[in-house]
């Protein structure tokens, strides 16, 4: 048996605790509590096993990873192992001493999230009063430290018109990179889809705004489009079990952060098994790896090794079966479900179900 | 036609910009450049060139050293070095 190629990156979800309550959060609906979180020694072992396996970059994420008091220690472990460390943070818990400690520990890069450019818009999404001012202060501290910074904006129907102002803010704050990511509709995002999904006109306008900014130069831009408006699915995670591994706060190992919804399969845990064994031979990581599992129309499709059949979690959430072709694909027999959601956008619901432990 | 890349001259001392570094990937046995939220594989002469970027050697020193190491004509080495360093400087991977 030949082993699959090793993963390139590890998403380390250190905690699901977060001061914000964004209604499109990528965390699962079933949030993990503090008592279930892995301890420092176990996270250290996970990083060691990841480096051994071939992981090159570790993304410390959450929830809000800065809620973990051992973050600095874990960054220095990553540094010792020659793993490139990226902190994905809301910035609201960042202050100068903490940033200095992270810098000394060898943090390579920070991705700072913004919910909007206006205070009202940011508070409506994040649910935390005063968050915008704290984020701007955090961005200025990061800029002064010299640590490379990417600003991340998740866009949706309420803020998508303000993309030009988002770029202006990024330039003003001295960020080298900006990510404009349309909301992805899983978990919390799917629960709030009718309030978030942009219209086709809004999407086209947002794409024009990104292209206009690219033409100006001087800013590196990542643009993630909403796949509901596409004809072909995205190559989700670069293919199931091919490039990416996710470890949840309690130690579950997943091929993507949404995969806990997949039924009838065991979710291996780093407390029981090594990362390498999980990556190489677990049923979870092998169930949709490669192309053997594919049904038609994927099986005979010339794009099967480009988009890998799209997203398994989306297929499950919308069609009830994770092994179906991603319904975003116009060749899928379930494509009408996506078309229907796009059409419904005129009667958009305005109330959010916020991401909180009690919801 | 030998196109001489503009911008980078032999007197310059270049180094990796913050958030970028050269690394040998032991597991895949390739050289990579680590960068914000991506890592890219570099091949051929590139790892030999980039490992000499120590913040002290000038571009000219690097050309000289590689010409000796590989017993190759200086102008051939110079073209490779200037092309690579210009490209990576343009992408903000390197800076002066």
Return the pLDDT at A229.
Answer: 85
* Residue B1 pLDDT exceeds 80: no
Q: Does A143 touch chain B (CB under 8 A)?
A: no
Residue A336, both tokens: 């009408």
Question: What is the Cα gyration radius of chain B?
Answer: 13
Distance (Å, rounded) from C-alpha B13 to C-alpha B56? 6
Q: What are phi and psi of A214, to 5 degrees?
A: -60, -40
Distance (Å, rounded) from C-alpha B34 to C-alpha A242? 19
* Residue B3 pLDDT exceeds 70: no
Q: Are B33 and B40 in contact (CB under 8 A)?
A: yes
Summary mean pLDDT of chain A: 94
pLDDT band at A226 (very low <50, low <70, confident <90, very high): confident
For B27, which of A6, A176, A222 is closest by C-beta distance?
A6
Give the start-to-end residue ranges of the domains of chain B: 15-91
Instruction: Provide the terminal-to-terminal Cα distance of chain A, rounded to the nearest Å.
Output: 45
Phi-psi region of A112 (alpha: psi -120 to 50; beta: other; left: phi over 0): beta
Least confident of A28-32, A339-343, B20-24: A339-343
Per-residue model confidence as pLDDT tens digits over A128-176: 999 999 999 999 999 999 999 999 999 999 999 999 999 999 999 999 8
Per-residue model confidence as pLDDT tens digits over B35-75: 998 899 999 999 999 999 999 999 999 999 999 999 999 99
Per-residue model confidence as pLDDT tens digits over A231-264: 899 998 899 999 999 999 999 999 998 898 898 8
Q: Are A13 and A43 in contact (CB under 8 A)?
A: no
Return the pLDDT at B2.
Answer: 45
DSSP letters for A166-230: HHHHHHHHT-SEEEEEEPP-SHHHHHTHHHHPPPHHHHHHHHHHHHHHHHH-SSEEEEE--GGG-
Closest alpha carbon within chain B to A149: B36
Closest alpha carbon within chain A to B32: A56
CATH topology of domain B15-91: Arc Repressor Mutant, subunit A (1.10.10)
Give the percent of chain A with pLDDT over 70: 97
**Interface with B, mutate which of A8, A54, A56, A149 (most B CBs under 10 A):** A56
Q: What is the mean pLDDT of residues B84-96?
A: 92
Residue A155, both tokens: 């866009």
* Residue A321 pLDDT exceeds 50: yes
Segment (H or E) for A124: helix A119-126
Largest CA distance in chain A: 56
Enter the pTM of the model. Answer: 0.94
Per-residue model confidence as pLDDT tens digits over A86-109: 999 999 999 999 999 999 999 999
C-alpha distance from residue B18 to each of A351, A355, B63 (Å): 43, 35, 24
**Interface with B, mutate which of A7, A81, A109 (most B CBs under 10 A):** A109
Return the pLDDT at B95.
Answer: 92
Return the pLDDT at A343.
Answer: 77
Of A184, A222, A203, nearest in space to A314 by CA: A184
Q: Does A221 touch chain B (CB under 8 A)?
A: no
Contacts of B28 in chain A (CB under 8 A): 6, 54
Q: What is the mean pLDDT of residues A31-57?
A: 97
Closest alpha carbon within chain A to B27: A54
Q: Does A150 touch chain B (CB under 8 A)?
A: yes
pLDDT band at A268 (very low <50, low <70, confident <90, very high): very high
| Binding site listing of A for [4Fe-4S] cluster | 18, 22, 25
Q: What share of residues in chain B are helix, strand, coil (percent, to 5)?
A: 35, 20, 45
**Interface with A, mutate which of B17, B18, B19 (most A CBs under 10 A):** B19
């Amino acid at each position: 048996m030949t082993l699959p190629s090793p993963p390139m990156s590890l998403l380390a979800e250190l905690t699901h605790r977060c001061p914000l309550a964004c209604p499109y959060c990528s965390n699962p609906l079933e949030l993990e509590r503090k008592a279930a979180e892995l301890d420092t020694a176990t996270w250290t072992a996970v990083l060691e096993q990841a480096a051994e396996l071939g992981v090159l970059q570790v993304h410390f994420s959450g929830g809000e990873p800065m809620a973990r008091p051992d973050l600095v220690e874990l960054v220095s472990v990553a540094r010792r192992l020659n793993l490139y460390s990226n902190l994905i943070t809301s910035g609201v818990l960042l202050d100068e001493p903490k940033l200095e400690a992270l810098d000394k520990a060898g943090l390579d890069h920070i991705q700072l999230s913004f919910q909007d450019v206006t205070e009202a818009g940011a508070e409506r999404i994040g649910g935390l009063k005063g968050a915008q001012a704290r984020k701007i202060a955090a961005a200025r501290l990061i800029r002064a430290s010299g640590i490379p910074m990417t600003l991340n904006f998740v866009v949706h129907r309420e803020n998508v018109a303000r993309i030009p102002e988002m770029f202006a803010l990024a330039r003003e704050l001295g960020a080298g990179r900006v990510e404009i990511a349309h909301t992805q509709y899983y978990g919390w995002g799917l629960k709030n889809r009718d309030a978030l999904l942009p219209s086709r006109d809004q999407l086209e306008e947002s794409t024009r705004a990104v292209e206009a900014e690219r033409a100006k130069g001087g800013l590196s831009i990542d643009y993630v489009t909403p796949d509901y408006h596409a004809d072909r699915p995205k190559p989700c995670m670069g293919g199931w079990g091919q490039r990416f591994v996710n470890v949840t706060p309690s130690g579950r190992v997943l091929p993507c952060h949404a995969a806990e919804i997949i039924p009838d399969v065991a979710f291996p845990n780093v407390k029981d098994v090594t990362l390498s064994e999980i990556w190489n031979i677990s049923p979870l990581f092998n169930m949709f790896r490669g192309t053997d599992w594919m049904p038609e129309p994927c099986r005979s499709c010339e794009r099967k090794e480009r988009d890998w059949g799209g997203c398994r979690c989306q297929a499950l959430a919308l069609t009830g079966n994770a092994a179906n072709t991603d319904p975003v694909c116009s060749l899928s027999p379930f494509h009408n479900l996506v078309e229907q959601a796009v059409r419904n956008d005129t009667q958009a619901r305005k109330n959010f179900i916020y991401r909180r432990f009690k919801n | 036609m030998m196109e001489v890349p503009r911008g980078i001259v032999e007197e310059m001392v270049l180094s990796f910009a913050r958030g970028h570094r050269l690394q040998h990937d032991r597991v895949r046995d390739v050289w990579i450049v680590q960068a914000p939220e991506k890592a890219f594989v570099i091949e051929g002469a590139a790892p030999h060139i980039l490992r000499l970027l120590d913040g002290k050697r000038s571009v000219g020193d690097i050309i000289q050293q590689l010409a000796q190491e590989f017993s190759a004509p200086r102008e051939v080495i110079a073209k490779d070095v200037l092309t690579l360093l210009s490209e990576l400087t343009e992408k903000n991977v390197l800076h002066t």
